[in-house]
Amino acid sequence: MKNIAVTADSSGVMVATLDMPGRPFNVFSEAMMADLAALIELIEKAVAAGQPPAGLVITSGKSSFVAGADLAMIQDFGAMRFSATWQEMRDRYSYLGKLFRRLEKLPVPTVAAVNGLALGGGLELAMACHGRVCIDAPYVQLGLPEVLLGLLPGAGGTQRLPRYVGLELSTKMLLDGKPLSAAQAKASGLVDRLASAENLVATASEMVLSMSAGARWDSPEYRMATDVAVATTDTGFRHWACQVAGISDRDAKLYPAVDAIINCLVGGYTKPIDAACDVEWDIFVDLMSNPVSSNMVTSCFLSKTAATKQSLVGLPAVSAPTSFALLGDLDLGKNPFKKMARQAEADFYIAAASGDDGRADLLVHQLGSAPSGTGAKPVLRLVNNFARSEVVELAAAESAESNARAMAVLQRSAKAIVLSRSAQSVNEVLLTAMRAAHANAGVSAQNFYTQCEAVGLESLARIAIDDLAVPAQNTQVPNKELGLPLLLGLSVAVYDWLTSQLSDDDSANDVLLAGVDLLAIYGVGFPKWTGGPLSCLSMFQRGELAYSGSQELIAQLQWQFKNELGYKLSAA
């Protein structure tokens, strides 16, 4: 096994250490799943031969336990909707969950020794063990953040978590994606013991030797809480669940993962665990058949993690500046750059920049000339809300070395970086298009805002329009179709701008294409469910974004988008 090392201690306890070579974190890839299957088979054969280990401890050789699933693999899962049958998808998607169930049913006491992050599939693995020991440290987090990427925990997570921590806490964790600390996990019943880093594996081994094998719900004596069984049959459960997690009725409609997770709770928790997992896996297939999941995995994770790497292509290696100075009243937040000291006279100067219309919130970052009295030291011009940005845009300078030095500074911020060679930002395009749509809407202010609200465009509208009339909250969630003409119109404006920016430089084009959706989402709040303007148009082109309104609009949009680049984006 390349990803799992197996040893045995003096008491006969087997210790399986997960440690994927060449990766900073352990994740559940196809290779890791194959090795986990090999580990389970090793123990099953030992049991069949009458020589079982005294117990099994699963831990990690990295600074964290398991960070979740390999999201490149999850992206491939989403692409299966174009070619695979429902059953083929179900067989593939449920494989990890079936492995965890085999692990859980081993007649050998099994304990997870959690030494750091245990997120997504990592926590699902820990919950499939018969016990959990966790390092008592502030950097430890245990959670199921799949909903933030349009997914659900599809390896038994929606069924095991509520059986450990109860309905209310599990519903909140599943729907808001927020993790627990080690102390919170212990208090909730998710973790059995806390230990120091030095004694983690030893504590887990002691626990293995003092416990019986098997999950609590596989015992004939197991009974679920009756109040839970009653609650999950209540017609108001969905509303209650969204209230617990702080999710609006509108977002519950736009983001299908919310309803999918609630359906897993309603349909599975009152059933025996095997039947409950079947419910989860069926729902997971339906969710992965929805383009929103693929959109969010791509734009909210894969593109974000790849942006900086793509932007560095072709730039020379440079020594990173060690100090920076802020010009004017710019506030980047506390400690914006790691290992860079803030000084009055520094290697790098950072100033706020405004767009052509005088606004300072366009999220355009420009490399300019040195300020007076600083010689040839470069200046990075940033907007004043840098502290709240997850993704930053750097407008390229003519010099590759200047770009490299600016990138070196921004890399110290731990944010995703898009190096843009366009004189205009996609965010400027979106803001301009939103203002034009508002001016030409021909409807009441309340009607226009309702269109925005229907598809999640209100954040963009608030940034774009200074005097935007925000009505009292609607008592009913507007139908998504009401806002689709506006959403698609904005997306076409971005698309038209994009086609004018492409050059003969394939590398620059790749960065531009990858960055458009990313910057739109994290720059001015284009709705995440769409995956960004280009992904939104791709959905429309493939017929995955249903619209039964104006046939004239449909024909116009299809004509505008029907060209070589459009098909390239659609197939990506």
401-419 pLDDT, tens per residue?
A: 888 988 999 999 989 998 8
pLDDT band at 182 (very low <50, low <70, confident <90, very high): very high
Q: Are 24 and 70 in contact (CB under 8 A)?
A: no
When mean pLDDT is compared over 189-198, 304-313, 446-455, the highest value belongs to: 189-198
Mean pLDDT across the chain: 87
Cα separation, 572 vs 567, whole angstroms = 9
User: Strand order of the sheet with strand 4-8?
Assistant: 4-8, 13-18, 55-60, 110-114, 131-135, 193-195
Q: Is pLDDT of 361 > 90?
A: no
Cα separation, 521 vs 390, whole angstroms = 10
Q: Is pLDDT of 335 > 90?
A: no
Q: Is pLDDT of 477 > 70?
A: yes
Cα separation, 533 vs 521, whole angstroms = 9
41 a catalytic residue? no
CA 219, distance to chain mean position in Å, is 36
Beta bridge partners of 60: 18
Helices (H), 273-377: 273-288, 291-297, 303-312
CA angle 326–332–338, rounded 5-degree value: 90
Higher pLDDT among residues 475 and 267, named by residue: 267
pTM for the structure as a whole: 0.90
Catalytic residue among 16, 67, 69, 126: 69
DSSP 8-state secondary structure symbol assigned to residue 215: -
Cα separation, 296 vs 522, whole angstroms = 12
Contacts of 388 (CB under 8 A, 6+ apart): none
Residue 139, classed as helix, strand or coil, is coil
Percent of the chain residues past pLDDT 90, beyond the cut: 55
112 a catalytic residue? no
Average pLDDT over residues 53-62: 97
Average pLDDT over residues 377-400: 77
14: amino acid identity, one letter: M
Catalytic residue among 104, 118, 124, 267: 124
146 a catalytic residue? yes
For position 41, what pLDDT does the model report? 97
Catalytic residue among 68, 121, 143, 532: 121
CA quadruple 224, 226, 227, 232: dihedral, nearest 10: 70
Average pLDDT over residues 319-342: 85
Nearest Cα to Cα of residue 137 among 189, 178, 199, 194: 194
Cα separation, 562 vs 495, whole angstroms = 11
Catalytic residue among 104, 146, 393, 428: 146
Q: Is pLDDT of 126 > 80?
A: yes
- Residue in the structure block whose two tokens are 């894969």: 302
For position 13, what pLDDT does the model report? 96
The helix, strand and coil proportions of the chain, stated in percent and rounded to the nearest 5, come to: 50, 10, 35
Q: Are 372 and 327 in contact (CB under 8 A)?
A: no
For position 354, what pLDDT does the model report? 55
